[in-house]
Chains A and B, each alone.
Chain A
């Protein structure tokens, strides 16, 4: 089945380039140049029973901020939203993720990066309808969340309960950035959201146990100023 992508981008050149790149990959693309266009395309597609499977959203639009559309979509839609931002401020990234964006890409970005993020977002949403992820595997690391078991190259790895809880939270969002604040609130509690140094310590311990080269991690990735991301798992 062909997946439909709603592309909201006011720059004509970039819109054309992205549309071409996405169509080559087999996506059907609805392209909008403004907030009003995007809303019209969305309602039309939804009415015809084929709502877009993903939204690519530029922030600076001629008739308003893309964040408004994000807000409106989030009220009743579970569709994944990838934000394309020209603003490289981390405060911005955090507030967008807070507002419900699934991920963000800072311009300029390569088509390869964009396609990879789209795949992650679609897979995650697909999984959202199924039972929660209980199994993660990548590069010799296997995490079995149900059995609370972690193995590295078939060797059992002993994690402390806190380390395991932190890893489990990241694995549940594999491929996606999880903000510092979210991790702190869910692992330690809401009153610890400013204690980033807890994360530095426990992530360091996890890297020491799970990464071949802790200073050059392949699985437990850092998003400076935003949070952490566990690399996407291997295909089952």
Chain B
């Protein structure tokens, strides 16, 4: 064969070869570009989901985002048969496959095989399906929602059916890694939320426990002291009656009555504190006049205050208060009782009610030694006393007072007075006033015309 005649063939073959390699290189480039875009898109999806979950305390409510992100795996090729089913634990893993313990997203009704696969995946905390080495024959991926790399178990599972599986084993691997990363984001968020819930519950439990213990400690102290007096006085009357003078007998009887009164108040306050602390508290709200509340308190107090140390100053023209009258009377009564005990023996005690913009302040003021600086912070806590050796029972009283003020959307604070003494001030918000009252019907024709009474 003439070598020259071979040349065009050789040339053609070389051209073809280089064209082919060019094509191949172009194809590679295009594939790499595709892969780059795909990876970038997946990184964005991962970041978005992570941000959504980071900003929520209730990751369960965001589970549709995970579903969307998993469905988007099918892009850029449209794979219409793609289907995602999610199973998410609401709290701890139940003993049996209890549907009430999980939230399910996806096709409804769910395929029984998918359902069983999801529970298996959730419990065993491993992935299975194509390319995983487990249950390869399944036409779907089952991916656990890992938390912390799977050490803490799974918070759920996802079932992923693709319309067309990638032919390339490498791409299958990449796709699954991405799906798993998305699932793990959700798993971690669910785990975090569950841990936060558990911590909150434990803290509430500890607080309830602490309150119970303080109440019990208080009962053993604050109840025992008046009981000891009552028992002592009563048994003296019982056993020595003949040898006691009339005056001695009367004194014993008086101390029984006084201490029993104290026990009764302590019981009221302790019960009220427990009631105010309980969830679902309902107050008996009505329109009340501060003047009447103060009057009712004074009438109760007079029994313990024969010298009339307690005086009232109620500003005229006060708005009506929207409150529970019985609770407010208990609040003021406790503050007055406190002032009578701690405010010095002879000094006056004043109940003062005045109006500030948007609120009414009910204050009980004494001229006693005030409250020591170290105790001011704690005086409203249960069973703190101004002076452990002095008169009893201030602690639960002030704690109830503050709880009552809070239940009305108000505040109770201690203010020290300029020239000595303490002022306990309950500030209550003023609600929008009701329409003013009309004259009684059928009254205008009477000899005393309404309004003629103005002095």
Contacts and interface: CB of A to CB of B under 8 A. Distances in A.
Interface of A: 88, 90-91, 108, 110, 148, 158-166, 187-189, 195-198, 200-205, 207, 209, 213-217, 221-225
A216 B453 contact: no
A189 B442 CA distance: 10
Interface string B321-344: 000111011000000000000000
Interface residues of B, number: 46
B282 to A, nearest CB: 11
A197 B439 contact: no
B372 to A, nearest CB: 32
Contact of B326 (A110, A204, A213, A225): A225
Contacts, number: 113
Given A195-B437, A197-B434, A160 B298 contact: no
Contacts of B268: 88
A148 B448 contact: yes
Given A162-B443, A217-B295, A221-B299, A201 B436 contact: yes
Given A110-B257, A160-B452, A161-B443, 18 more contacts: A88-B268, A90-B284, A90-B326, A158-B448, A160-B451, A162-B439, A166-B440, A198-B438, A200-B320, A201-B436, A204-B292, A205-B453, A207-B291, A213-B312, A214-B295, A223-B296, A224-B328, A225-B325
A46 to B, nearest CB: 37
- What 3 pairs between A and B have smallest CB-CB spacing? A161-B443, A198-B437, A224-B325
Interface in B257-295: 257, 260, 264, 268, 284, 286-289, 291-295
Contact of A215 (B314, B440, B447): B314
B292 A200 contact: yes
Contacts of B293: 222, 224
A221 B291 CA distance: 11
24 contacts: A108-B260, A160-B439, A160-B448, A160-B451, A161-B440, A161-B446, A161-B448, A162-B443, A188-B438, A188-B440, A189-B440, A197-B287, A197-B437, A200-B288, A204-B289, A205-B453, A214-B314, A216-B295, A216-B311, A222-B293, A222-B296, A223-B296, A224-B292, A224-B328
Nearest to A198: B437
A189 B328 CA distance: 29
B289 A158 contact: no
B291 A224 contact: no
B27 interface: no
Given A189-B441, A200-B320, A201-B437, A160 B450 contact: yes
A25 to B, nearest CB: 17
Contacts of B28: none
Nearest to B444: A161
A196 B450 contact: no
Given A88-B268, A222-B292, A164 B448 contact: yes
Interface hub of B295, B438, B455 (most chain A Cβ within 10 A) = B295
Nearest to A209: B453
B437 A222 contact: no
A197 B296 contact: no
Contacts of A108: 260, 264
Contact of A216 (B287, B298, B328): B298
B250 to A, nearest CB: 14
Contacts of A205: 453
Nearest to B312: A215
Contacts of A188: 438, 440-441
Contacts of A223: 296
Nearest to A109: B264
B449 A161 contact: yes
A162 B312 contact: no
B450 A162 contact: yes
Nearest to B293: A224
Contacts of A148: 447-448
B312 A159 contact: no
Nearest to A107: B264
B294 A215 contact: yes
B313 interface: yes
Nearest to A88: B268
Interface in B17-61: none
B291 A214 contact: yes
Contact of B287 (A196, A213, A224): A196
Nearest to B436: A201
Contacts of A164: 448
B313 A215 contact: yes
B284 A161 contact: no
